[in-house]
Chain A
Amino acid sequence: MYSSSLKQTSIQSPLSQMAIVRPKAASTKRTLVSSLMLTSLVDAFSILVIFLLMNTKSGIEQVELKKINQLPHATAMDTVTKGIVLRIEDNKYFVDEVQVSEATLAQKLEEAKTKFEAGTINGLKASVIVQADKKLDYEAVSPILRAGAAAGLNQFKFAVVEKSN
Chain B
Amino acid sequence: MPTVNNGGTRIFQYIITVLVLLTLNFFLPRMMPGDPLSYLLGDPGADAPMLLTEDMRANLLEYYGLDKPLGAQYWEYLSGLARGDLGWSIYYNAPVGSVILGRLKWTLFLGGTAAAIYVALGIVLGAVSTWRRGSKLDVGLLISIFSLGSWPPFFLGMLLIIFFSFKWGMFPIGGAQSAEAARIGGWKQVVDVLRHWFLPCLALVLSYLPGIYLITRNAMLSVLGEDYVRTARAKGILESLVLLRHAMPNALLPVVTTVAMRFGFMIMGTMFVEVVFAYPGMGTLIYEAGAARDYPLLQGAFLVTMVFVLALNLLADALYGWLDPRTRRASA
Bound pair: A and B? no
